[in-house]
Structure 1
Amino acid sequence: MLANNSQAFLEYLDDWYANLPELPLDDLLIDGADRVAVTCVDIIVGFCTDGALASPRVQSIVAPIAELFKTAHAGGVRHFILPQDSHPVDAVEFGAFPVHCVRGTPEADTAPELRALPFADSFTIFEKNSLSAALSTGFPAWVAEHPEVDTYIITGDCSDLCVYQLAMFLRLDANARNVQRRVVLPAQCVDTYDTPLEVARELGLYAHPGDFHHVFSLHHMSANGVEVVKALK
C-alpha cells in the first residue's frame, strides 16, 4: 500500500528537489559577515575516505564545502563551527553503528581538504559522541554566547542524521527562545550514505537508499523552516 500510495508524493519530491533555488552568498552577508556562521558537521576522515562508515557520496561534497569556506572567509566570515564525531572506544553508539571515528585515531581527524585551508587554525571544533551536535557538547553554549550570529549555514553529513539534528536544533532553539534566526542549507554541500536494498538483504543490514533519505530529509527540514537551497553562489 505504501508504494502505491506514495508514487505521486515521490514524483512531487523529485520535482521539488530539481527546482531548488540558488541563493547569492552576498545576500546572507549584507548585514555584516560577523552575523554569519558556517557550520560543518562530520566532514572527517572516517566518513569520507577511511573506515567502516566512509562513503564516496560524502567524499564528493568535501570540495564544494571547501570552496564555500573559502568564499565565505573572503567575504569576511570568521565563524567556522565544526561539530565532529570523536567517540571513546566503548561508545554506546557502536551498538547501532559499526565502530568508527574513535577519538585519537585518524578517522576522527578533519578532512584534509579543510585542514589545508589557510585559516583552518581558526576553526571551532566541538567533539560529539552522538548524532546530535547539541547533546553533551559546547555547541549550545557557543550559540547562546554569540547572540549577534543570526544566520547559520549548514554543511556536512549525513543529510538524514547529523545534518538533520544540527539544522533542527538551530531552528527549534530559535523558535523556543523566540529569536529571529536564518538556518540556510545548501543541498550541494550535504549528502548521506547509500546501502542499496539488495546489499542490505545480503548482509542483514537496514536498507538505506541514499537518494531517498537525502531528498526526503531536506524536504522535511524545509517544511520546518530551514531554508534549503541548491547552492550558495
Structure 2
Amino acid sequence: MEQLEQNTRSVEQFLQRSAPFLTAVASWEQQLSDLSWQSLQTEAEQGKVAVFSIDMVNGFCHEGPLSSSRVKGIIPEVVNVFEQAYRIGVRQFVMAQDSHTPESIEFADFPPHCQVNTSEAENIPELANLPFAHLYTTIAKNSLNAFHGTELAAWLDEHKDLSTVIVVGDCTDLCVYQTAMHLKLHANAYNLPLRVIVPANAVQTYDTPVEVAQEIGALAHDGDVLNLIFLYHMYLNGIEVVRKVNG
C-alpha cells in the first residue's frame, strides 16, 4: 500500500511539473505561421524543391487494421500540397511507403499491415490519380525509417542541390519524424543548407485511448498529445514547422 501511495504521489508530481511545459507547447502550436508557395517558386523552377509523402497508402487511410480516420482526414491537405507544389514548378515527388515482407519484424510491434503486393501497400487513389503521378519516385520500405534498406539515401546523394524539402503524411511521431529528422541531420552533417518543412495541417498520427488499449492489450497512444509533442521536437531540431503552405 505504501508503495502504491508513493507511485501515486510521483505521478501527481510529474503531472504538476509538466503542466506549464505542455501549456507552452500548446501555445506554440496555436501561434504557428503559414508559409507562402510564392516564396518557394523560384527555387521550385530551378529544381531545388521536393515533396516527400510518407505512408499515404491505403493501409493507413482506407483499409486494414492500421487505417485511421485521423490520417484519412489529412488527405485533402496532402493532395493540395501536391497540386500547389506542381503548380509552382516542383517536379520531385518522393513517395516513401510501407511495403512489408510477410516475415517483417515490425509485426511484433504492430499488426500485420501494408504487405508487399497487397492493396494496403498501394498509393491512395487521391494521389495516384493526379495527372502528374508519373513523376513520383516510389520508395518501398520495410521499417519506420525510409532510408534504411532502401535506395533513398542514394537518391538524396544525387540531389545535393535541393534547398527545400516539404514532408507530409503519417505518422507524425513515427515515419514522418524519422524522415524529417534524417533529412535534417544528414544536411547538418554535410553542412548542406537544406530547409526541411513540415506543414502541421498535412501530417497526422493515430489514436488509441487508454481504455481501448487496456481492452485490446495494446499500448495507449494519445494522438493529440503525440502529434503535438513530435511537431515540437522536430522544431527543436531545426525543422520548420508551419501551420500550412498556401497562397
Q: TM-score range by the shorter chain?
A: over 0.9
1:121-174 Cα offsets, whole Å, 9 max, x none, are 210000000000110111111111011212100001000000000000000000
- CA distance in structure 1 between the partners assigned to 2:132 and 2:43 by the alignment: 23
Q: Deviations over 1:193-232 (max 9, x none)?
A: 0001111111111010000000000000000000000000
Paired with 2:44 and 2:109, the residues of 1 have a C-alpha distance of: 42
Q: 1:57 aligns with which of 64, 67, 70?
A: 70
Aligned counterpart, 1:166? 179
Give, in whole Å, the separation in 1 of the partners of 2:96 and 2:44: 24
After TM superposition, give the deviation of residue 31 of structure 1 in Å: 3.1
Task: Tell me the residue number matched to 1:72.
Answer: 85
Measured after TM superposition, the shift of residue 118 of structure 1 is 0.5
Which residue matches 1:11? 23
What amino acid is aligned across from residue 28 of structure 2 in structure 1?
W
Q: What count of residue pairs does the alignment treat as equivalent?
A: 233
Q: Which runs of 5+ in 1 are unaligned?
A: none
- Structure 2: runs of 5 or more not aligned: 1-12
* Larger radius of gyration between Structure 1 and Structure 2: 2
Once residues 111 and 224 of structure 1 are traced to their aligned partners in structure 2, the CA distance between those partners, rounded to angstroms, is 30
- Asked if residue 228 in structure 1 is aligned to residue 244 in structure 2, the reply is no
TM-score (norm 1): 0.98
Root mean square deviation, CA, Å: 0.8
Runs of 4+ in 1 over 4 A off after TM superposition: none
Aligned mates of 2:188, 2:136 — CA distance in 1:
27
1:26-175 superposed matches below 5 A? 26-33=38-45, 34-175=47-188
Task: Measure, in 1, the Cα distance between the counterparts of 2:115 and 2:14.
Answer: 39
What is the TM-score when the length of structure 2 is the normalising length?
Answer: 0.93
Q: Could you tell me how far apart the structure 1 residues matched to 2:193 and 2:151 are?
A: 22
Distance (whole Å) between structure 1 residues aligned to residue 107 and residue 41 of structure 2: 40
2:44–2:88 contact (8 Å) kept in structure 1: no
Q: Given residue 29 of structure 2, which amino acid in structure 1 is its aligned partner?
A: Y
